[in-house]
Structure 1
């Protein structure tokens, strides 16, 4: 301990107040443990402040503007004006409401909140440095610690986020005016979501992606309707290229991109051999996220990481140091807010002696593009690789009465099941409200439901949720509103 430090003790020290950390702290408090939560910036972490919530707010707002201006077939004629500064202010109000709620919930569950940056000073002690001149630091002794420091955007060579025209996702969500043109580096879920936002607000968007297609990691039949819709919004793709540099050009910038290999897009623009030069007002880099683990002095506590800096943890969220846990993005895939919350809850329960463990079998994932993607469980190929004989059911939204009445008919619901016993193994949705619909399929997997269980559950008409029932009926060969496979 440094002379002059305050020294305190706690049963459970949680480092980071994002969705993984604050959930861990609240659950530990509910289990009658003495809990201290350290946060260096803002309660709610990246998700509530700079990621999940702000992006979904702007997606919703931009969708309202776009639909209002493109609803002639419904008999609606409008020319909406977009005030991005006002839109961002509305978004910020939502963020403030949620982050304030997190702080109140923590306090209501007996969590001691400390603002500052924590670093390890041994296996059972951290030092917390408080921001501001003269604020000092303190030492906290703990019996158990939960690391939940999250992740940050990866920075690529020659594209420093400190340079004015170069944006990360956080900066893009805080712009006060709509850029006339934008180059986005990366066609993963973050890049595609933000491409959707700005295209609907009237920005000329170009996307550079090193790999062969948009949304790498998702099945092509799920990604294809998203890319088709993006192109209809005017988004231009350049696959098989990596951004290499930029320079000022006119009133904006010129982004240089080099061929990344022999990748060729599935139904997209053919990869050219020559380097690209793309002009725009700004460039947004969205090539993934890396763990915030380098600020913790992990070596002092003997905590191991992999070669990318992610902290290694087992199915009870334990690191190699038995009384120290790691949850959320800092512990690696799946890097999802709801996965982190689940991991935080499990860690707290394990510390309290509860029989808890992690199980990702029914862990959903969603992409909030237009149309949305939702997925849970196994794909058809994954199920077959695992030794299952599969049966698949599918229902297109073009056959859904509710989808037709909303004007959003792209996509489908697909259900994968064990052909012999009928157990639901996976669910995959691309289309309107996919992020909501996937919950029913996740519950089916979690409960060990069969195709018959889903098909025989009466669904309200007319709803999008009927499409899940119809997909199950299709797998059974008894669908009413689509041809049976």
Structure 2
């Protein structure tokens, strides 16, 4: 303890007020625990302030403009003007509404809110340094701690985010003018989502990716419509390259990004492989800005975890068990800092479990029905096991699929690319997994996640009457297709 510090006590110290941390705090407050939530920047964390919410706001806004501009087939002729500063102001308003709501909910559940940076001093004590000159610090003694410090964008050599033309996702979402041209480094979900946003705003976009395809970890049939739509938007791809450096152009008109070809190697975590660049020669790409979107890393190096005895793996993630406990029984970790998948809803689920375990409830985390969504155009959503994963786990499978081009509702929206696929156990029909690429995939996947969670069968899904005309009928038809009696598509 530092001389002059004020020392207070709390049942539960939660570090980080993102979707994992604030959910843990609210749930712990509901369970009559004394809770202190420490946040160094903004309530809602990266997701609400700089990630999930602002990116989806801009995706929606740019979709409105793009759809209006390309609706001649529907008899609509328009050429909307884009005011990016106004669009960002609207996005910021949405963010402010949600973050202020988080603060109010915390206070309503008797959560003590502290602004500052927390570091551990031992297994039951942390110091909170308050921001601002002369604000000082205080010491907190706790019975339990929940680490929810999230993640941050990964920097790559020679592309520091402090350099004006080099953007991370947070900075890209705050631009007040549309760049004429943009190089995106990384074709994962962040890179692909933002590449589409800027392409729809009129930016010339080129994506550099070291692997041989976009969205590593997703099946080729899901990626194919997304890649085709990106091509239609004019997005160009350079596969088999890694960005090496950038420099300002001699004419002062933007920058040049250099990319080097890589040697062919197997890649981790997906069907894509690193491939040698097609020409075998380095590239030089001119652009106004460069967006680095090669992934995120855990924020675990700011906490002095050693003082609390908490261990991390070689990537900096804090490993936990099914009850969100670290190697120290009374210290928990939730959200991105606790490892893949780095999803806001996964963090929220973990936060609830951590709070309930601390309160003595028999809670545990079940990742079996954890959905994943990519908000590309079209959207991709998955839950449970893929067909190959199910077979690797010893299941005899049956698969049903329904194309959106056979959906009356999809056709009336002008978005009919993609399909719904359902994977089930052949012998008894239990739903094991599902994948969707197409309109509103992020919404449709919930029904199939519920089916897995409840142990529902193909017959259960197929016999549930779905309203017509809706996109959700495609889920029913995919289940019927697996059973061999789909009405609006040919059966397998």
Which TM-score band applies after superposition, normalised by the shorter structure?
A: over 0.9
Q: Does the residue aligned with 1:197 lie in a helix, a strand or coil?
A: helix
**Alignment partner for residue 358 of structure 2, among 351, 354, 370?**
351
Q: Which residue matches 2:292?
A: 285
In the TM superposition, residue 109 of structure 1 has moved relative to its aligned partner by 0.3
Q: Which residue matches 2:161?
A: 161
Is residue 263–residue 271 contact of structure 1 (8 Å, CA) maintained in 2?
no
Alpha-carbon distance in 2 for matches of 1:95, 1:297 = 31
| 1:138 aligned onto 2:145 | no
Alpha-carbon distance in 1 for matches of 2:326, 2:212 = 36
Q: Which residue matches 1:438?
A: 445
In the TM superposition, residue 174 of structure 1 has moved relative to its aligned partner by 0.1
**Alignment partner for residue 415 of structure 2, among 403, 408, 419?**
408
Alpha-carbon distance in 2 for matches of 1:169, 1:121 = 33
Is residue 211–residue 263 contact of structure 1 (8 Å, CA) maintained in 2?
no
Alignment of 1:72-221 (within 5 A): 72-221=72-221
Alpha-carbon distance in 1 for matches of 2:366, 2:211 = 30
Alignment of 1:433-472 (within 5 A): 433-472=440-479
Q: Which residue matches 2:256?
A: 254
Is residue 148–residue 328 contact of structure 1 (8 Å, CA) maintained in 2?
yes
Q: Which residue matches 1:476?
A: 483
Q: Which residue matches 2:341?
A: 334
Alpha-carbon distance in 1 for matches of 2:103, 2:380 = 32
Q: Which residue matches 2:24?
A: 24
**Alignment partner for residue 328 of structure 2, among 321, 324, 328?**
321
Alpha-carbon displacement from aligned partner over 1:458-477 (angstroms, at most 9, x marks no partner): 00000000000000000000
Q: Does the residue aligned with 1:21 lie in a helix, a strand or coil?
A: helix
| 1:228 aligned onto 2:228 | yes
Is residue 238–residue 269 contact of structure 1 (8 Å, CA) maintained in 2?
no
Alpha-carbon distance in 1 for matches of 2:377, 2:262 = 27
Is residue 246–residue 256 contact of structure 2 (8 Å, CA) maintained in 1?
yes
Is residue 241–residue 276 contact of structure 2 (8 Å, CA) maintained in 1?
no
Q: Does the residue aligned with 1:38 lie in a helix, a strand or coil?
A: strand
Alpha-carbon displacement from aligned partner over 1:165-189 (angstroms, at most 9, x marks no partner): 0000000000000000000000000
Alpha-carbon distance in 1 for matches of 2:265, 2:365 = 37
In the TM superposition, residue 260 of structure 1 has moved relative to its aligned partner by 1.8
| 1:307 aligned onto 2:309 | no
The change in CA–CA distance for 1:125 and 1:269 in structure 2 (over 3 A counts) is closer
Gaps of 5+ in 1: none
Q: Does the residue aligned with 1:91 lie in a helix, a strand or coil?
A: helix
RMSD: 1.2
Q: Does the residue aligned with 2:377 lie in a helix, a strand or coil?
A: coil
Alignment of 1:6-21 (within 5 A): 6-21=6-21
Q: Does the residue aligned with 2:122 lie in a helix, a strand or coil?
A: coil
Q: Which residue matches 2:401?
A: 394
Is residue 298–residue 304 contact of structure 1 (8 Å, CA) maintained in 2?
yes
Is residue 261–residue 277 contact of structure 2 (8 Å, CA) maintained in 1?
no
Alpha-carbon distance in 2 for matches of 1:79, 1:333 = 42
Alpha-carbon distance in 2 for matches of 1:73, 1:472 = 32
Alpha-carbon distance in 2 for matches of 1:272, 1:431 = 34
| 1:380 aligned onto 2:387 | yes
What is the count of residue pairs matched by the alignment? 484
Q: Which residue matches 2:34?
A: 34
Is residue 212–residue 263 contact of structure 1 (8 Å, CA) maintained in 2?
no
Alpha-carbon displacement from aligned partner over 1:225-280 (angstroms, at most 9, x marks no partner): 101100000000111110000000131010000112237989x9972211111110
Q: Which residue matches 1:273?
A: 280
Q: Does the residue aligned with 1:17 lie in a helix, a strand or coil?
A: coil
In the TM superposition, residue 193 of structure 1 has moved relative to its aligned partner by 0.3
In the TM superposition, residue 334 of structure 1 has moved relative to its aligned partner by 1.2
Gaps of 5+ in 2: 267-271
Q: Does the residue aligned with 2:98 lie in a helix, a strand or coil?
A: helix
Is residue 53–residue 95 contact of structure 1 (8 Å, CA) maintained in 2?
yes
In the TM superposition, residue 421 of structure 1 has moved relative to its aligned partner by 0.6
Q: Does the residue aligned with 1:409 lie in a helix, a strand or coil?
A: coil
Q: Which residue matches 1:423?
A: 430
